[in-house]
Amino acid sequence: MTDAVGVRTGLSARLPAVSQTLKPATAAKKLGIYLPAAPEEFQSSSLTRDDLEELRAHPPQWLLDLRRNGPFPRDVVAQKLGVSRSGLARGGLTEALTADEIGVLIADPPGWLLDERETHKTVLADQARLKELRHDKG
């Protein structure tokens, strides 16, 4: 709590400012990388929000390589293939994929992938339609 001139008062005046730390899994998710593919040092240490912002602003080579080549977490794989995460599971893809593996699927899509893309498009269209209906009523 602060007073009229911005000075901390009450309980908050006695507590030091502490930067929130993130577990490695949370930091990996925010960076869009697959945690098991990250260096051991990253996997075993907590990061502050400042550390995370530093990684985003000035990514080290290992982070650039992971973002470029993978392996990618399932949500990123789903996005690159144009399907949902559930669609990946229905297609039998439960593991992280590399950029090359994703490229093969995109170049010669199996039947399940084509079906899941259509399903995903339909679901997104329905969600957009419902959002517009709610917006018109509100």
pLDDT, greater one: 1 or 94? 94
Residue 100 confidence (pLDDT): 97
Question: In terms of pTM, does the model score above 0.95?
Answer: no
Q: Is the pLDDT of residue 6 over 50?
A: no
Retrieve residue 120's tokens: 């995903």
Contact 7, 42 (CB under 8 A): no
CB atoms within 10 A of CB 11: 8
| Other beta carbons less than 10 A from residue 38's beta carbon | 18
More confident residue, 6 or 79: 79
pLDDT digits (tens, 9 = 90+) for 54-113: 999 999 999 999 999 999 999 999 999 999 999 999 999 999 999 999 999 999 999 999
**Residue 10: CB partners within 8 Å, gap ≥ 6?**
1
In 3D, which of 9, 44, 7, 12 has the Cα closest to residue 28?
44
Q: pLDDT at position 17, please? A: 58
